[in-house]
Amino acid sequence: MTNTKRIVLLSLLVGIALIIYVIEAQIPVIFPGVKLGLANIISLFTLLVLGWKESLIVVILRTVMGSIFGGSISAFLFSIVGGLLSNIVMILLYKFFRNYLGLSSISICGAIFHNIGQLLVAAFIIQDLRIYIYLPILLISGVITGYFVGISVGFIYKYFKNFPWIKDIQKGQN
Amino acid sequence: MKKGDKIVGLIIIILITISLLFLGIYRFINKGDKLIAKIIQDQEVIKVIDLDKVEEPKEWTIENEEGHHNTIRVEKGRIRFIEADCPDLVCVNSGWLSKPGDIAVCIPNKILIRIEGKDDEVDQISY
């Protein structure tokens, strides 16, 4: 029973992440390459509720399907490298330092590594490291967006963790 | 605010400072009194323009092997992408480039424009 609940919840989360991802792509950006990273809310929430494997699943499915719905191959390469790098960093931080770090710190690090990953892909594709002049602005935007993502996840998790079915799922996990 | 948050904050501030420092160094290295725009496609310089010598505004379209295109506009002292068929339009959103060291890239179509302050090309095409 808990297993079914897990799968249902996971599918819902993938769906929500996908919707956020697609909508976010329509929001115009102030500076080239800067994104809000709202879909990260879902990956971080999944990490808190379901665990690291599920959070990776959400990121991978979200990028694969997101690229099918409105992207190109290069956009896919960007998202998958950035998304995985940021997710792995958040998983490691959450696993080993969760007692010392707030959610905002974890998601800020995730956002920063997302941007670094994207720059790595960009530098690799055009074979020019000068693209790193984008780094300062991407770091600063990562701090801002990561901070708000962390706050949002904090709010969502605060309410959801008391839901009986979420408690069930978390119990089944241990 | 937990204990580790301060450490993370400190590391991030140091990172931002270092990256800004590098940006400053980069701008300093590229300083010069000329404005040479280089258009690079697939790591090859396909066009070199002396922006100070541009009299008439000019637009043209560059196409790559896969059939994608970018339109570039050049005016006196500045250059930019005005239109492209890439999905993210980072190149177009980069706006006008008018200072040495400025850069605009279109990753999907592998085109970039770079402005250099010094004139290091011997075989130069200019308008």
Q: Same structural domain for residues B65 and B52?
A: yes
Q: What is residue A23's three-state secondary structure?
A: helix
Q: Same structural domain for residues B46 and B94?
A: yes
Q: What is residue B24's three-state secondary structure?
A: helix
- SS3 per residue for chain B: CCHHHHHHHHHHHHHHHHHHHHHHHHHHHCCCCCCEEEEEECCEEEEEEEHHHCCCCEEEEEECCCCCEEEEEEECCEEEEEEECCCCCHHHHCCCECCCCCEEEECCCCEEEEEECCCCCCCCCCC
The predicted pLDDT at position A59 comes to 92
Q: Same structural domain for residues B15 and B57?
A: no
Q: Which two tokens stand for residue B106?
A: 């279109």
Q: Which residue segment(s) compose the domain that B8 sits in?
A: 1-30
Q: Which residues of B touch A34 (CB under 8 A)?
A: none
The predicted pLDDT at position A14 comes to 92
> Could you state, in order of their start, the residue ranges of all structural domains in chain A?
2-173
Q: Same structural domain for residues B1 and B57?
A: no
Which residue, chain included where needed, has tokens 């800020």?
Answer: A108
pLDDT digits (tens, 9 = 90+) for A66-105: 888 766 677 788 788 989 999 999 999 999 988 888 888 9
Q: Same structural domain for residues B52 and B83?
A: yes
The predicted pLDDT at position A35 comes to 76
Q: Same structural domain for residues B39 and B70?
A: yes
- Residue B16 has phi, psi (to 5 degrees) of -65, -40
Q: Which two tokens stand for residue B55?
A: 């009299």
CB nearest to B2's CB, from A29, A101, A109: A101
Q: Phi-psi region for residue B97, left (φ > 0), alpha (ψ -120 to 50) or beta?
A: beta
The predicted pLDDT at position A167 comes to 79
Q: How many domains does chain B have?
A: 2
> Quick one: what percent of chain B has pLDDT higher than 90?
2
Q: Same structural domain for residues B51 and B76?
A: yes
Q: Same structural domain for residues B104 and B44?
A: yes
Give the pLDDT of chain B (127 residues) as one tens digit per residue. Answer: 778 888 888 999 998 999 889 888 888 887 777 788 888 888 788 888 887 877 788 888 888 777 778 888 888 888 888 888 776 677 787 788 888 888 888 877 788 888 887 766 545 555 4
- Residue A122 sits at the chain B interface (C-beta within 8 Å): yes
B121 belongs to a structural domain: no
B19 belongs to a structural domain: yes
Q: Which two tokens stand for residue A9?
A: 């919840």
Q: Same structural domain for residues B70 and B97?
A: yes
Residue B43 to residue A126, Cβ atoms within 8 A: yes
The predicted pLDDT at position A155 comes to 92
Task: Mutate one of B3, B7, B10, B19 to test the A interface: name it (highest A CB count within 10 A).
Answer: B19
Q: What is residue B17's three-state secondary structure?
A: helix
Looking at residue A174, its amino acid is N
Q: Using the 8-state DSSP alphabet, how is residue A38 labeled?
A: T
Q: Is the ipTM of this complex over 0.85?
A: no
Q: What is the CATH number of domain A2-173?
A: 1.10.1760.20
Q: Same structural domain for residues B16 and B44?
A: no
Query: What parts of chain A have a pLDDT lower than 50?
Result: none
Q: Same structural domain for residues B3 and B41?
A: no
Residue B112 to residue A128, Cβ atoms within 8 A: yes
As a whole number of Å, the CA-based R_g of chain B is 18
Rounded Cα distance between A43 and A39, Å, is 7
Question: Among residues 45-104 of chain A, which lie with CB inside 8 Å of chain B?
Answer: 70-72, 74-75, 78, 97, 99-102, 104
Measured in whole angstroms, the distance separating CA A130 from the mean position of its chain's CA atoms is 27
Q: Which two tokens stand for residue A152?
A: 């949002």
Residue B26 to residue A108, Cβ atoms within 8 A: no
B124 belongs to a structural domain: no
B46 belongs to a structural domain: yes
The predicted pLDDT at position B113 comes to 87
Distance from CA of A12 to the nearest CA of B (A): 27
The predicted pLDDT at position A172 comes to 67
Looking at residue A7, its amino acid is I
Residue A127 to residue B43, Cβ atoms within 8 A: yes
The predicted pLDDT at position B33 comes to 78
Q: Same structural domain for residues B24 and B66?
A: no
Whole-number Cα distances in Å, B35 to A47, A83, B8, B45, B50: 50, 38, 40, 16, 6
